[in-house]
Amino acid sequence: MTRDIQVTALPNFLADQSDPERDRYVWSYTIEIANLGRARVQLLSRHWIIIDAYGRREEVKGPGVVGETPVLEPGETYRYASGCPLAAPSGLMQGTYRMVNDAGETFDVEIPPFSLDSPFSKPTLN
C-alpha cells in the first residue's frame, strides 16, 4: 500500500498458450487497485520491471493500463487483466503506477513484486 492506494496482483500460468519446447511461457495476471483514502486519484501511467529466471530484465513504460487512465473515487476499486510472455519457465514482475490527486500532486504507487511460476520451473530457496 502506498498513500492509501492498495495494489493486489494475481498471476495465472496459461498452459494452453505456452510452448516449453520453444521456450515460450505465458501468464495472465489480474491487478486490483483500491483507493482506501479520502481523495480522488487518477492513474496516469505504468512502469513495469520484468525479470525472468535467467536474469534477463525488461522494462515496460506507458500511459494508463490496458488503454485506460481510470479515476478512483474514495472507496472505489479498479480491476484489469493483462498478460506477460517469457522465454523462461519463471520470473517476477514489479513496478509502479504514477497517480495524480485532485490537488494536482503526482506520486508513484508501488506494485508489489509477484512471481510468475510455471509447472516447468524448478523450486529454489532464496
Residue 116 lies in a domain: no
Q: How many domains does the chain have?
A: 1
Residue 115 lies in a domain: no
Q: Kindly list the distances between the CA atom of residue 1 and the CA atoms of 4, 6, 36, in Å, as whole numbers in the listed order.
A: 6, 4, 9
Residue 105 lies in a domain: yes
Residue 58 lies in a domain: yes
What pTM value is reported for the model? 0.93
pLDDT values of the chain reduced to their tens digit, one per residue, 126 residues: 999 999 999 999 999 999 999 999 999 999 999 999 999 999 999 999 999 999 999 999 999 999 999 999 999 999 999 999 999 999 999 999 999 999 999 999 999 999 999 999 876 655
Give the Cα separation of 55 and 28 in Å (integer).
21
Residue 63 lies in a domain: yes
Q: What is the CATH number of the domain that holds 22?
A: 2.60.40.1470
The pLDDT of residue 12: 97
Residue 124 lies in a domain: no
